[in-house]
Structure 1
Amino acid sequence: MPETRTIYARACASAAAVTAALLAPCSAMAEDAAAQAAPAQDGAPSVADIIVTANKRAENLQKVPISIAAFTAKAIDTQGIKSVVDLPQLTPGLGFTRTLVGTNAFLRGVGTTSAGYSTESPIATYVDGLYMPNSAASSFSFNNIERIEVLKGPQGTLYGRNTTGGLIHVITKEPGDVTSVDTSVSYGNYNTVQANFYGSTPLSDTVAVNLAALYVNQADGWGRNQFTGQEAYKFKDVGVQGKIRWQPAPDTKITLRGFFDKVETDQGNAVAMYPGSVGTDGSTYVGKYQINSRLTPFAHQRQYSVSLKAEQGLGFANLTSITGYIDNASPSLQTQSPVLGQPLPGQGTINLGGYQTAKTFSQELQLTSNNKASPFQWMVGAFYYHDNSMIQINVYGTCIGAVCAAPLPTQTTGYANTRSYAGFAEGTYSFTHATRLTLGLRYTSDQKTLTGQIVPLAGYPDSIPAFPAGTVTTPAQGGIVTDVTFNKLTWKAVLAQDLSDRIHAYASYNRGFKSGGFNPTSFTNPASKPEVLDAFEVGVKSELFDRKLRLNLSGFYYDYKGIQLRSTAPPAPPGSSILFNAAEAHIKGIDADFSAVLAPGLSLNGGFEVLDAKYASFPSGVCTTPRIIGPGVLGGTVSSTCNLAGFKLPQSPDFSATLGLTYRAETRIGRFEFNANDGYKSSFVWEPDNRLRQGSYHLVNASLTWTPPGSRFSLQGYGRNLGNAYYFVSGANGGGNDGYVPGAPRTYGVKARYQF
């Protein structure tokens, strides 16, 4: 650990030295422009161009005045990215919390720990331009990914609502004009089998199709449920997706995309007692990857979606229409807290049986200027979004025979409806060939309603006698307003300056917001208000040393207000949660990323982020404190109101870094390709009161691939978390008990692949 930190410290110092050398002679930059712009020598290796669509048009990564981490299909393959949740290995400042079958992203300290369909993430996920509203929709392992773009900072103009902290855009491969196949099968420890298939072929001069299929089955768990003796932390995923592209004319293209996926796992909700904590029933930490639960937790997710993208050239502009429909369903069973549960007064696990559905329709129209010779480039558009979500939660204490521990069994069903309308416009004017100003505006109107009921949970002891016959509680009876509208104007202003052909600087001011909304499992919790983030950023993007080094740096400051938080700690009702707005936070930091070609076949990439993310004002926070064990008190925590000003934001490590190396060698027996990367995070906290803390850790992955001479086959050996770091993917206080979910231990295996 100390040696690795020294390496990172030296890398940071080197980056700082290069930056100082880069920025110091700005007054003489014009004289050096020709030298900086010189192409690489014939045959000499250099960093490759990366084309991104962050501004909804194809542009070189280095010319886009946004902090972006972009990974091509080749980089994704060689660096072992198997799903979106692996991106922190390559993206400093990015983290994920596992929730049920999905994931919640944190970027530069902005994120949410809410599970399931109860709220949208402030780090949006898009797939081929289609907004994916639920965290469960953001994690998959298909091999048809063309590129992944991580946009850091609010994207409130072109992407709009719920991009407070940024977004992740997954772009999948388009059907090609020639037939191609990419198929692989792998086997790893924990009896893990994975098979991937991708095929693409033209059907005619105007029609082409592709298809991707996935099967993953981790049949053995990482751990065990000590109470039932069953294995814990398994995973299974089966899915298929494909595209049909029709191009009847040179300026017309229509693409139909379909997607189906089914996940079965307990890796996001098999909760264990946090090390060092004691539960309300006296439960304690029972060991690595061990749980102690009377029930067998599970979370399933079935999702299908279809989208239609139509692109039409109009001469002066290009018109794009993206229509999408997504249908999700997710049953689950878990405990709110990690205690075993005893059917005694005042003690017992709170069991949660859940069923969630979401049906989402969206329509976006974009009109983009097409005169590249004009100094003014523009885009206007409109967006409509309609989501109907249903969340049903069955809450009951541990029952043995006719005796149930508190709380009394109830069934809460909430129906949350969202209709959103937005219009946006953005324009970039080039004052000179080197100076550009971009201005953008977006107006959003979100209309949200809540209906539902709370009834006795039939079939469980104490449920019917606990309620008068026919008792039904509705949101209207809870005394809250059940129909709200949130209107918001967001904007961006960016000044970009080319200091040379290979060095670009920018300064930006962006406003983003996350819409307010209801807590659909509580009929006494008023709707939260929108959260708003004002971001100020300066950055430099450069390619140096005859394009042997790409070095990008940025500094940012966020003024973050109305932060939405969810808590299951008291005063939340047993089995439920409260949704509320914190006051304000200030976030500042420095981002850096680099790619370097050291020699033919040898490249190095990495980056770091230094982050300071703290609440500036939070007078009505919730603090949890371990109870003093004594007569009648076996453990657990007690909650109180406290002032959290100066406390760190959850999932905001002070320092995070990545470092990766790739080496390719051609030999008489074939091509060998070695890749290794290390993702490091310093310690961070899980909740606003900063009591539960994750220690610093490294995740080291590596692979070695052999391709015989002239062969389309390859064989790979891989290892993930080679240091067998024991780290957590979530931690929280639920129902007065401290719980956590662990990340994956060391995994390894072999993969055979065939391509043509």
Structure 2
Amino acid sequence: MSSKNIRTLLLATASIAACSGAGTGHAQAVSPAATAEESDAGVEDIVVTAQKRSERLQDVPIAVTAISGEALTAKGVASTLDIQQVTPGLTFTTVGGTAAPRIRGVGTTQAIGGNENSVATYIDGVYYASSAGSVMQLANIAQVAVLKGPQGTLFGRNATGGLIQITTLDPKHQFGGKVSASYGNRDTIGASAYVTGGLSDNVAADLSLYYNNQRDGFGVNRFNGQDVNKGKDFAVRSKWLIQLGEDTTVKLVGDYSKYAAVTIARRLISGSLPQIGTVFTGNPFDVDSDVQPYFNSRRSGVSGELIHHFASFDLSSITAYRRTRTLLGFDGDGTRIANFSTTDEVLLDRQFSQEFQLTSTGGGVFQWTAGAYYFYGDGDLSAAIAQAPAVLPPPIVTLRVQLGQKTKAPAVYAQGTYKLTDATSLTLGARYSWETRHYNGSGTSAVGAAPPAALPPVTGITKLSNSRPTWRIALDHHIDQNILVYVSYNRGFKSGGFAATVFTGPTQTFEPEVLDAYEIGFKSDLLDRHVRLNASAFHYNYKNIQIQAFGNGPIPTVINAASAKISGLDMELTVRPTSALTLTTGFSYIHSKFGSFPNASIAVPRVNAAGMPIGGNTTVRGPATGNELANTPDWTIDLGADYDVPLGRGGLTLSGHYFHSDGWFAEPDNYLKQKPYDQLSGSISYYFNPEKTLTVTAWGRNLTNEAVAVQMQARTTGNVVQIGQGRTYGVTLGAKF
């Protein structure tokens, strides 16, 4: 079939979809003249900074999913937790309310007390080390880009799995902005405002405000009748753009946010038998817990970026300071029996970073980037941990713990791309990172009402030093201006550290994990740019994997699994037959398997002498060799459609998004599994004029009301789960000026 015939078929398909109301059952006629006029519109170019310079997405030899802020809103992506629904290969769960993203099976379970994620989060060029500060609402967003595979050369030691790169809107000299107000189910009210303008000839600034208050919970704590899984979020952010002469620009950013929620609501997994003998039944969003959960977080930061243009290169400097303080409490056993709980847990993360970078700007056959980076982090954890030696107390043993790590991590890096021919380029890059960690820990113990007694302080190794090179080798070739093929080999590593739960006795350390990633892919714009198809296949050799592990006690540690192999395929397809209709799909297949892993935590259901289940689990150390990696679905698929229907001076914008996950195992023993699930989101927006300055939007997220786990654990007392958000829907009024 010729290119012309295929294009005609796409236009016919678009006309049929329009006449059928895009699946809504309401006919919408599209005139032949309108169809012919719109047929010239193709898939728009996307500019990313995946290689720390502005480039077309289709020219970057890296697997990247990039979505604009407007597209995220239309698809119902409201927070970082939702990004997985539009990003093949990404799974975003939480542990104790903190972020636990995984890309292609690579991620971290325990990122507290100074330990960091294996998937890095950057906002406006600043690395966010705190996992508690990486779960956030997506307001004032220009773009979210997810870089897949190790990004250690340009972005550092903790980008083993990849990178979530968030860019907020830049201020403009022309006055403008937007405001919105919304009301949704669960008695949710929300509002946002963004305003920008010039303060002088060389200064532009903006201000972003966000507020959302869900006043009714998705579920109820049956123990006390109070709501669970609700929260209130407030954020403010301001960016200033200052022009100091023709060649120098300064960008200043400040942000503050506060999140107060009744979350980390854990319950027994429905149908599983706990030690107390009472099986949980009923509403999957309810809990039955003697501890009312809470999660309160305050996040703030300031950063300054200076860019100076020289004749053939740019010099940039980014200086940043961030602070995150989180107070939380939850029931570890998920029952109404006082068996194990954590209260007054405080996670305090402070960081300072400084980066200097040189980037070539001239033309020619060689483009390069070089820089130096310094990071200082101070992560502390304190908590009161109550545990019972038996299922039914007394006595209750209360531990009060204090522990933390200080991290110093300088690095230098360079990467260059040389054009071997007009169509073929070779990229070589390397980074060398040094890191030193200091650990401290102390605690007290009290039995029942007895006064607390100090525990012996930590002993053994309290200082660790790691240094590692990472590198990138890539070869790309333009078959023509619209088709790029590439192969790459990348080395990434995540530094070693201390198990940030040890507050007495010998410290426990774990080794750096290392990932060798091999990838082949292509990027293509076809049929006069009406079709965009990008795909990549990969194979990972993953060594010294950092894994959270439990003994028969309630407090986890971190160990190293010797190895794993991960192979898979990512694919993204965008079809835009007319400027009014855009169809998208994303697909991911991942085959993951542990190699040698003889000392994994294995949960074994407890039985009596007759072999009958008596509830709960015994945890032993045993082999997990051959098991799948945690939180890694075999396959996912997402489908999206956006359609614009003119109606007089106004019109309708219809958007729908479907996501399916094959499910994932919760832990390396592959005992607990999140079953396959489907989620559907969508919106219908009416605009009153062609400029779309005034809109009213009806929207819905998780319309299938799927109860999807964000965390599952097999504990001694029973199998527990924390469920994510249920169905949400509402109406938003918006205005632009």
TM over 0.5: yes
Look up the match of 1:413: 402
Look up the match of 1:319: 315
Look up the match of 2:170: 174
Look up the match of 1:649: 629
Q: What is the CA distance between 1:530 and its match in structure 2?
A: 0.5
**TM-score, normalisation: structure 2:** 0.91
Q: What is the CA distance between 1:182 and its match in structure 2?
A: 1.0
Look up the match of 1:628: 607
Look up the match of 2:438: 449
In structure 2, what residue type is equivalent to 1:440? G
Structure 1 unaligned residues grouped into runs of 5+? 1-13, 15-39, 343-347
1:246 is the counterpart of 2:242: yes
Look up the match of 2:458: 475
SS in 2 for 1:489: strand
In structure 2, what residue type is equivalent to 1:624? A
Q: For residues 540-579 of structure 1, what are the structure 2 equivalents within 5 Å?
A: 540-567=522-549, 569-571=550-552, 573-574=553-554, 576-579=555-558
Q: Taking structure 1 as reference, are residues 669 and 735 closer, same or farther at Cα in structure 2, changes over 3 Å only? A: farther
Look up the match of 2:359: 368
User: 1:452-510 deviations in whole A, cap 9, x for unaligned?
Assistant: 211235xx834427x4xxx342112xxx3110101111000000111111000000000
1:603 is the counterpart of 2:594: no
User: 1:717-737 deviations in whole A, cap 9, x for unaligned?
Assistant: 011111222221111124543
Q: For residues 220-259 of structure 1, what are the structure 2 equivalents within 5 Å?
A: 220-259=216-255
Q: For residues 451-466 of structure 1, what are the structure 2 equivalents within 5 Å?
A: 451-456=440-445, 461-464=448-451
In structure 2, what residue type is equivalent to 1:594? L
Look up the match of 2:414: 425
Q: What is the CA distance between 1:527 and its match in structure 2?
A: 1.4
Q: Taking structure 1 as reference, are residues 507 and 115 closer, same or farther at Cα in structure 2, changes over 3 Å only? A: closer
Counterpart selection for 1:486 from 452, 459, 466: 466
Q: What is the CA distance between 1:73 and its match in structure 2?
A: 2.8
The structure richer in strand per residue is 2
1:395 is the counterpart of 2:382: no
8 A contact 1:283–1:339 mirrored in 2: no
8 A contact 2:616–2:715 mirrored in 1: no
Give the stretch that moved more between structures: 729-738 or 234-243.
729-738
Q: What is the CA distance between 1:394 and its match in structure 2?
A: 1.0
User: 1:645-682 deviations in whole A, cap 9, x for unaligned?
Assistant: 11000111111011100000111262100000111100
Q: What is the CA distance between 1:351 and its match in structure 2?
A: 3.9
1:535 is the counterpart of 2:522: no
8 A contact 1:653–1:681 mirrored in 2: yes
8 A contact 1:570–1:735 mirrored in 2: no
8 A contact 2:202–2:242 mirrored in 1: yes
Q: Taking structure 1 as reference, are residues 143 and 639 closer, same or farther at Cα in structure 2, changes over 3 Å only? A: closer
8 A contact 1:529–1:581 mirrored in 2: yes
1:661 is the counterpart of 2:645: no
Counterpart selection for 1:700 from 664, 671, 680: 680
Q: Taking structure 1 as reference, are residues 90 and 536 closer, same or farther at Cα in structure 2, changes over 3 Å only? A: same
In structure 2, what residue type is equivalent to 1:443? Y
SS in 2 for 1:137: coil
User: 1:702-725 deviations in whole A, cap 9, x for unaligned?
Assistant: 100001135621000011111222
Counterpart selection for 2:428 from 427, 439, 457: 439
8 A contact 2:38–2:578 mirrored in 1: no
SS in 2 for 1:85: helix
Q: What is the CA distance between 1:406 and its match in structure 2?
A: 5.3
Look up the match of 2:28: none
Look up the match of 2:26: none
Look up the match of 1:731: 712
Q: For residues 149-298 of structure 1, what are the structure 2 equivalents within 5 Å?
A: 149-267=145-263, 269-287=264-282, 288-298=284-294
SS in 1 for 2:422: coil
Give the stretch that moved more between structures: 741-750 or 517-526.
517-526
Q: What is the CA distance between 1:98 and its match in structure 2?
A: 2.2
8 A contact 2:113–2:500 mirrored in 1: no
Q: For residues 69-108 of structure 1, what are the structure 2 equivalents within 5 Å?
A: 69-108=65-104
Q: What is the CA distance between 1:41 and its match in structure 2?
A: 9.8
Q: What is the CA distance between 1:626 and its match in structure 2?
A: 1.1
SS in 1 for 2:71: helix
In structure 2, what is the Cα distance between the partners aligned to 1:333 and 1:608? Answer: 37
8 A contact 1:97–1:113 mirrored in 2: no
Q: Taking structure 1 as reference, are residues 745 and 42 closer, same or farther at Cα in structure 2, changes over 3 Å only? A: closer
Look up the match of 2:128: 132
In structure 2, what residue type is equivalent to 1:335? D
In structure 2, what residue type is equivalent to 1:441? A
In structure 1, what is the Cα distance between the partners aligned to 2:218 and 2:39? Answer: 48
8 A contact 2:395–2:448 mirrored in 1: no
Look up the match of 1:672: 652
In structure 2, what residue type is equivalent to 1:645? T
In structure 2, what is the Cα distance between the partners aligned to 1:92 and 1:61? Answer: 16
In structure 2, what is the Cα distance between the partners aligned to 1:388 and 1:377? Answer: 36
Percent identity of equivalent pairs: 34
Q: What is the CA distance between 1:332 and its match in structure 2?
A: 0.9
In structure 2, what residue type is equivalent to 1:428? T
1:355 is the counterpart of 2:385: no
Count of residue correspondences: 697
In structure 2, what is the Cα distance between the partners aligned to 1:396 and 1:255? Answer: 47
SS in 2 for 1:89: helix
In structure 1, what residue type is equivalent to 2:101? A
1:594 is the counterpart of 2:573: yes
In structure 2, what is the Cα distance between the partners aligned to 1:736 and 1:553? Answer: 45
SS in 2 for 1:120: coil
SS in 1 for 2:58: helix
Give the stretch that moved more between structures: 191-200 or 707-716.
707-716
In structure 2, what residue type is equivalent to 1:670? G
Q: What is the CA distance between 1:330 and its match in structure 2?
A: 0.8
In structure 2, what is the Cα distance between the partners aligned to 1:509 and 1:239? Answer: 40
SS in 1 for 2:292: coil
Q: What is the CA distance between 1:117 and its match in structure 2?
A: 4.2
In structure 2, what is the Cα distance between the partners aligned to 1:280 and 1:413? Answer: 30
Counterpart selection for 2:700 from 719, 729, 748: 719
Look up the match of 2:374: 384
In structure 2, what is the Cα distance between the partners aligned to 1:156 and 1:734? Answer: 35
In structure 1, what residue type is equivalent to 2:568? G
In structure 2, what residue type is equivalent to 1:410? L
Q: What is the CA distance between 1:53 and its match in structure 2?
A: 0.3
1:68 is the counterpart of 2:64: yes
8 A contact 2:179–2:193 mirrored in 1: yes
In structure 2, what is the Cα distance between the partners aligned to 1:442 and 1:73? Answer: 32
Q: What is the CA distance between 1:599 and its match in structure 2?
A: 2.8
Look up the match of 1:21: none
SS in 2 for 1:208: strand
User: 1:14-71 deviations in whole A, cap 9, x for unaligned?
Assistant: 9xxxxxxxxxxxxxxxxxxxxxxxxx99970100000000000000000000000001
CA RMSD of aligned residues (A): 2.1
1:335 is the counterpart of 2:314: no
In structure 2, what is the Cα distance between the partners aligned to 1:664 and 1:241? Answer: 32
Give the stretch that moved more between structures: 192-201 or 279-288.
279-288
User: 1:92-127 deviations in whole A, cap 9, x for unaligned?
Assistant: 211111234432111111112226445211010000
In structure 2, what is the Cα distance between the partners aligned to 1:630 and 1:378? Answer: 69
In structure 1, what is the Cα distance between the partners aligned to 2:472 and 2:395? Answer: 51
In structure 1, what residue type is equivalent to 2:441? G
Structure 2 unaligned residues grouped into runs of 5+? 1-9, 11-35
In structure 1, what is the Cα distance between the partners aligned to 2:138 and 2:534? Answer: 29
In structure 1, what residue type is equivalent to 2:68? T
In structure 2, what is the Cα distance between the partners aligned to 1:281 and 1:560? Answer: 40
Look up the match of 1:4: none
8 A contact 1:177–1:208 mirrored in 2: yes
In structure 1, what is the Cα distance between the partners aligned to 2:716 and 2:319? Answer: 42
8 A contact 1:101–1:300 mirrored in 2: no
